[in-house]
Amino acid sequence: MSAQFDLVVIGGGPGGYGAALYATSAGLNVAVVEKGSMGGTCLNRGCIPAKAFLETAAVQRHVAHAAEFGIEASAPVVNFAVAQARKQ
């Protein structure tokens, strides 16, 4: 079986993914060749996952300093398994 494409995009990172979407919206039949996960490093292992953990740390820090705002709260404990699941 063979397939015909108007455009073959090499790499499914932010640039390749964006190019494929643009070409598809223009009516082209597009294939994306990606050896890893669509979205690239930033989406899957870099920027976005890191931001999820940074937000967890920020919430922990706010709760730890709640008394400064007149809020009584016990010492926050991060459940890494839950933080990891949220990141996914």
pLDDT digits (tens, 9 = 90+) for 49-66: 788 888 899 999 999 999
Domain boundaries, the chain: 7-43, 46-87
Entry pTM:
0.52
pLDDT digits (tens, 9 = 90+) for 67-80: 999 999 888 888 88
Query: What is the rounded CA–CA span in Å between residue 71 and residue 86?
Result: 26
For helices 80-87 and 47-64, the axis angle rounded to 10 degrees is 140
The H-assigned helical ranges of the chain are 14-25, 40-44, 47-64, 80-87
Q: Is residue 26 a contact partner of residue 6, using CB atoms and an 8 Å limit?
A: no
What is the helix (H) or strand (E) element at residue 3, kind and residue range?
none
